[in-house]
């Protein structure tokens, strides 16, 4: 115990704000299927029925059948090994297992000059919005950010990004419809290097590529990034829509390794009660989640923190109780 002591952990004001934002963003998921998991475990005796129920509930939360079975197996082993006695202890163990599952195995590559982030994914998942949010986030951190309109397939894509670039207050490099995306990104990296920008974030077209086409295009972009600046680093973020959850993950499996993706952005977590798909991303795609989208506004993107995520979805019972009490008292005060 202790690892997840939500109350006893001393947190800064900023961490508190992050927790609140995550709580709000994950409202549907945390008050839905994950709430059931907490309720099931908190009051239960540990037996085979409990494991069956838990497995079902994890699947309902969209954790994915294979991942759910494995997590429950891990939990069962841990319960035996550590001689855990009750559901509360099992819940604490489950938090740790899921947290480990969600913790990135390697850091993001952002130390290049400039740091290039290429954003890929199928149409409608939230690529362009995510790029605007990323620009905002890194600008707030004091970085000089430039955008590249690499989605040259549709004229509207560039216009949409232009609006967002204005809102975020960052420059945008764009070319006409049908231009070569690798050339646009080359120009952006060149320009960023010349002007001393720290970061280039590039949009790409969301056509459903075949594997070879996608591979070739990304290889070409990657070469042009290096050609434009030998000191550039490249992070390729694949955007997945949490609303389509497991479906999105199985679709992505097809091409994500081929595409050389290095990380995942999971968008629209605010729009689904089944945000559990996050838990199976590593098992299915072998990629860490780097950011989560929790709304449509420019600051509705969060850097992914596994511990805060798990504490939000599987809070300690005491936390919920205290909140209820707080609500009751404030209700009384108003009355």
Ligand X SMILES: Nc1nc2c(ncn2[C@@H]2O[C@H](COP(=O)(O)OP(=O)(O)O)[C@@H](O)[C@H]2O)c(=O)[nH]1
Binding site for ligand X (CB under 6 A): 121, 123-129, 206, 267-268, 270-271, 293-296, 300
Beta carbons of 314 and 98 less than 8 angstroms apart: yes
Of these partners, ligand X, Mg ion, none, which one is at the site of residue 95 (CB under 5 to 8 Å by kind)? none
Q: CB of residue 180 vs ligand X: minimum separation in angstroms? A: 19
Q: CB of residue 248 vs ligand X: minimum separation in angstroms? A: 12
Of these partners, ligand X, Mg ion, none, which one is at the site of residue 169 (CB under 5 to 8 Å by kind)? none
Tokens of 26: 């994950």
Tally Cβ neighbours within 10 Å of residue 163: 12
Q: Using the rule CB under 5 A, is 128 a contact of Mg ion?
A: yes
Cis status of the peptide bond prior to 114, with omega within 30 of 0: yes
Of these partners, Mg ion, ligand X, none, which one is at the site of residue 124 (CB under 5 to 8 Å by kind)? ligand X
Rounded-to-integer distance, Cα 28 and Cα 248, Å: 19
Point out which span in 5-13, 80-88, 128-136, 225-233 binds Mg ion (CB under 5 A): 128-136
Considering the complex, state which of residue 204 and residue 224 has its C-beta at the smaller distance from Mg ion: 204
Q: Using the rule CB under 5 A, is 174 a contact of Mg ion?
A: no
Site size toward Mg ion, by CB under 5 A: 3
Considering the complex, state which of residue 79 and residue 125 has its C-beta at the smaller distance from ligand X: 125
State the SS3 of the chain. Answer: CCCCCCCCCCCCHHHHHHHHHHHHHCHHHHCCHHHHHHHHHHCCECCHHHHHHHHHHHHHCCCCHHHHHHHHHHHHHHHHHCCCCEHHHHHHHHHHHHHHHHCCCCCCCCCCCCEEEEEECCCCCCHHHHHHHHHHHHHHCCCCEEEECCCCCCHHHHHHHHHHHHHHCCCEECCCCCCCHHHHHHHHHHHHHHHCCCEEEECCCCCCCCHHHHHHHHHHHHHHHHHHCCCCEEEEEEEEECCCHHHHHHHHHHHHCCCCCCEEEEECHHHCCCHHHHHHHHHHHCCCEEEEECCCCCCCEEECCHHHHHHHHCCCHHHHHHHHHHHHHHHHHHC
Q: CB of residue 159 vs ligand X: minimum separation in angstroms? A: 11
Considering the complex, state which of residue 4 and residue 164 has its C-beta at the smaller distance from ligand X: 164
Q: CB of residue 205 vs Mg ion: minimum separation in angstroms? A: 8
Of these partners, Mg ion, ligand X, none, which one is at the site of residue 112 (CB under 5 to 8 Å by kind)? none
Task: Name the closest residue to ligand X (Cβ).
Answer: 293
Of these partners, ligand X, Mg ion, none, which one is at the site of residue 267 (CB under 5 to 8 Å by kind)? ligand X
Q: Using the rule CB under 5 A, is 204 a contact of Mg ion?
A: no
Considering the complex, state which of residue 128 and residue 224 has its C-beta at the smaller distance from ligand X: 128
Task: Give the contact letters, 144-163, x = binds to Mg ion (CB under 5 A), - = no.
Answer: -------------x------
Could you tell me the sign of the dihedral formed by the alpha carbons of 69, 71, 76, 81, in that order? positive
Q: Using the rule CB under 5 A, is 222 a contact of Mg ion?
A: no
Task: Name the closest residue to Mg ion (Cβ).
Answer: 128
Q: CB of residue 239 vs ligand X: minimum separation in angstroms? A: 6
Considering the complex, state which of residue 268 and residue 274 has its C-beta at the smaller distance from ligand X: 268
Q: CB of residue 127 vs Mg ion: minimum separation in angstroms? A: 5
Of these partners, Mg ion, ligand X, none, which one is at the site of residue 316 (CB under 5 to 8 Å by kind)? none
Instruction: Summarize as ranges the residues that interact with Mg ion (CB under 5 A).
Output: 127-128, 157
């Amino acid at each position: 115990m202790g690892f997840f002591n939500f109350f006893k952990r001393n947190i800064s004001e900023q961490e508190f704000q992050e927790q609140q934002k995550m709580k709000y963003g994950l409202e549907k998921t945390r008050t839905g299927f994950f709430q059931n998991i907490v309720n099931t475990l908190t009051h239960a005796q540990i037996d085979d029925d409990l494991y069956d129920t838990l497995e079902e509930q994890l699947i309902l939360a969209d954790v994915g059948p294979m991942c759910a079975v494995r997590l429950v197996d891990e939990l069962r082993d841990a319960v035996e090994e550590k001689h855990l006695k009750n559901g509360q202890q099992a819940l604490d163990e489950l938090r740790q297992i899921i947290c480990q599952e969600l913790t990135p195995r390697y850091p993001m590559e952002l130390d290049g000059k400039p740091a290039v982030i290429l954003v890929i994914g199928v149409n409608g998942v939230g690529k362009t919005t995510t790029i605007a949010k990323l620009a905002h986030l890194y600008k707030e951190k004091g970085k000089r950010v430039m955008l590249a309109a690499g989605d040259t397939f549709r004229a509207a894509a560039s216009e949409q990004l232009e609006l967002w670039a204005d809102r975020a207050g960052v420059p945008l490099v764009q070319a006409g419809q049908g231009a070569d995306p690798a050339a646009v990104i080359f120009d952006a990296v060149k320009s960023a290097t010349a002007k001393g920008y720290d970061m280039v974030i590039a949009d790409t077209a969301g056509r459903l590529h075949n594997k070879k086409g996608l591979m070739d295009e990304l290889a070409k972009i990657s070469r042009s990034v290096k050609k434009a600046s030998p000191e550039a680093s490249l992070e390729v973020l694949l955007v997945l829509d949490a609303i389509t959850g497991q479906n999105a993950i199985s679709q992505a499996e097809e091409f994500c390794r081929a595409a050389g993706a290095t990380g995942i952005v999971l968008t629209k977590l605010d729009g689904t009660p089944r945000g559990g798909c996050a838990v199976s991303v590593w098992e299915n795609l072998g990629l860490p989640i780097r950011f989560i989208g929790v709304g449509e506004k420019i600051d509705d993107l969060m850097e992914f923190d596994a511990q805060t995520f798990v504490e939000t979805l599987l809070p300690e019972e005491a936390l919920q109780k205290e909140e209820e009490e707080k609500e009751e008292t404030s209700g009384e005060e108003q009355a």
